[in-house]
């Protein structure tokens, strides 16, 4: 898995990834719910949508809006197994380990904290 500073520097240079920002509504939602709840949502989304060996609708399973974690997933290249492999060196075609899932959640939470 890549060094976080190098990862975020690379993401910031990507035209696609750098287009994602939290809206005021997203920020208000985070403030209202708290970071522990947002982390819990991120864990749930990763476990259900990304961790299976072959996720349903892979490449299209993460909405582009509707929750701050979805925005973070696209911005941090944690939206599908192809992006996880390309940006995070986590191979597709296998179930994600607990360690890999925890790493992804940590990356998402770091992106959110940087975006606030």
Q: What is the DSSP letter of 10?
A: H
Task: For the chain, give the mean pLDDT.
Answer: 95
Cβ within 8 Å of residue 92, ≥6 positions away: 58, 81, 82, 84, 85
Q: CA–CA separation, 71 vs 63, rounded Å?
A: 8
pLDDT for 53-103, tens place per residue?
988 888 888 999 999 999 999 999 999 999 999 999 999 999 999 999 999
CB 69, CB 108: distance < 8 Å:
yes
pLDDT band at residue 113 under the 50/70/90 scheme: very high
CA 109 to chain centre: 8
The whole-angstrom separation of Cα 52 and Cα 60 is: 15
């Amino acid at each position: 898995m890549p060094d976080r500073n190098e990862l975020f520097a690379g993401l910031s240079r990507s035209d696609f990834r750098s287009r994602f920002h939290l809206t005021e509504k997203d920020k208000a939602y985070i403030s209202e719910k708290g970071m522990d709840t947002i982390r819990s949502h991120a864990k749930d989304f990763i476990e259900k949508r990304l961790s299976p060996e072959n996720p349903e609708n892979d490449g299209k399973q993460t909405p582009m809006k509707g929750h701050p974690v979805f925005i973070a997933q696209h911005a941090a290249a944690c939206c599908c197994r192809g992006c996880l492999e390309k940006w995070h060196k986590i191979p597709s075609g296998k179930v994600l380990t607990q360690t890999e899932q925890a790493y992804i959640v940590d990356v998402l939470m770091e992106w959110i904290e940087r975006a606030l």
